[in-house]
Amino acid sequence: MSTEIIVNVHSYEKRVAILEDHELVELFAEKKEQNLLVGNIYKGVVKNVLPGMGAAFIDLKLSRTAFLHFRDIDINMLTPEKKKIFRQHNSSTINKILKPGDEIIVQVKKDPLGKKGARVTCKLSLPGKFLVLRPKINKILISRRIRSMKEKKRIKKILKELKKNSDGLIVRTDTEGTSKEDFKQEYNGLNRTMKLIQKQAKYAKAPCVIYDENDLSLSLIRDLFSTKVDRLVVDDQKLLNKIKNNLSNITPELLDRIELYQESTPIFNAFGIEKEIEKIFHSKVKLPSGGNIKVQQTEALVAIDVNTGSFTGKNNYHDTIRITNMEAAKEIARQIRLRDLSGIMVVDFIDMKDEKHKEEVFQKLKNLLRNDRAKSFVYPFSPLGLVEISRKRTRPSLLLTYSEQCPHCNGTGRLLSRDSVAVRISRWLMRAKFFIKNEPLLILVHPKVKVFISDHPDLFENIDNKFKVESDGNIKFDQFQVFLQKSKKEITHRYNT
């Protein structure tokens, strides 16, 4: 199976697509306004120390100083004299441990909220899918939710063999059954990242960020780019350089798999990804033989219904049902990953009388979900003929990322959000600029979208064509229309995808 990662960079958002055998299976979107800080590590400067609060305020070069409580100080960072003071567990002695002007390494544990600055800790941790690396605690701690003593002993034995230094490891709940090779790959990756952080901590000038947990170039390398990936294609030179710089210190053997995309056709169009993204917002997904699945997503659960549609089969009824359900199992596994569906999912396959056919469909769905990086559990057919799936959320679903509640239906449905519509227009103009030159354009949008575009002119900073945006109350919230100004001819459909 070939695996490719395709990265599209836009001034307002970055998108990462994962293709398996040239088929889109995962999509990530990072919007400009999603300024997340939790997990970021900073080299800060102590601004003020308040013994009465048992806390210090740290300058991280953010809009507000961060809050560090006495109990969030790491004893391993202290000198022998300060360790004695800290062991008294008296928070009012914090002024004997920290002084204004001291440089300190901290990690954000809580984002700023309103007038409050970020909450930080000196107890650093690097989370992976299976493990959390904790510097200098020299322990292996296993989640209490792993109840099997046999499994705990197996995991502990593997990690004792892998661990090379005094750093500690916390084993996460979703590690049961994880192979030694997977543990090794993640541990080595976390170790390399920690060495980079320690190097930055030594030489960087405070205050500054030394590790951005939410930086796409780092999360790509840590979570997605591995020896299993055949190539990584990026359409932005700056991001590509950043990825290469980080990768050269972690897994330099993968550097030759990175490519810069330089063609005139937008990268997601060239790889057929844009058309697949459009389908994500449709509840009905077609199957190869003519059947379909219908995905209904709510806050409580996800319901997936399988239908034969136009497929009538060639031989007999039971074969028709089996083929449809087998195709549905493959597509359901893909849609779960692509849409990042989570929580409780209920799949209503077409009723099958043959127990062998049921087991075949169940095993196919279960095996395909093993490619999913998020942990999921698939339960056998219930007496009602339903298959239940539970899956851990890894990020906001694409439906929530790209849409907002519809104001006309009391929240029962959703519409493409204003920023997503604006970005879609920007991409339309990028596609059209190679074909329409010296032709002024008129773009009609919903009034609320017009307000958003007026407030974010940077969305169109790379557009050369002349155009003006006007509001039209008759246009649907999640749509837009493009006209040639002189002839008034509508050309929206020409460059949609």
- How far apart are the C-alpha atoms of 242 and 260, rounded to whole Å? 12
- How far apart are the C-alpha atoms of 122 and 107, rounded to whole Å? 6
Q: In a 10 Å sphere around its CB, with 0-12 CB exposed, 13-18 middle and 19+ buried, how is residue 446 labelled? A: buried
For 94, 414, 418, 481, the CA distances from 476, given in Å and listed in that order, are 58, 13, 11, 10
Query: 0.85 cut: is pTM over it?
Result: no
pLDDT of residue 242: 87
Q: What's the average pLDDT block by block, 10 residues per block, for the chain (497 residues)?
A: 91 87 87 75 95 95 93 92 93 94 94 84 86 88 84 90 86 78 83 87 91 76 79 93 79 88 90 86 87 84 88 73 93 91 92 91 93 86 92 62 55 68 88 81 92 87 85 87 89 79
* Residue 181 identity (one-letter amino acid): E
Two tokens at 379?
A: 């339960």
Q: What is the dihedral of CA 194, 199, 205, 208, to 10 degrees?
A: -20
- How far apart are the C-alpha atoms of 97 and 73, rounded to whole Å? 9
Cα separation of the two ends of the chain: 27
Task: Look at the alpha carbons of 156, 157, 162, 166 in this order and tell me if their dihedral is positive or negative.
Answer: positive
pLDDT of residue 6: 95
pLDDT of residue 19: 94
- How far apart are the C-alpha atoms of 13 and 36, rounded to whole Å? 14
Short-list 331, 333, 381, CA closest to 357: 381
pLDDT of residue 410: 44
Q: Are 471 and 450 in contact (CB under 8 A)?
A: yes
- How far apart are the C-alpha atoms of 451 and 446, rounded to whole Å? 9
Residue 443 backbone dihedrals phi, psi, to 5 degrees: -115, 125
pLDDT of residue 320: 85
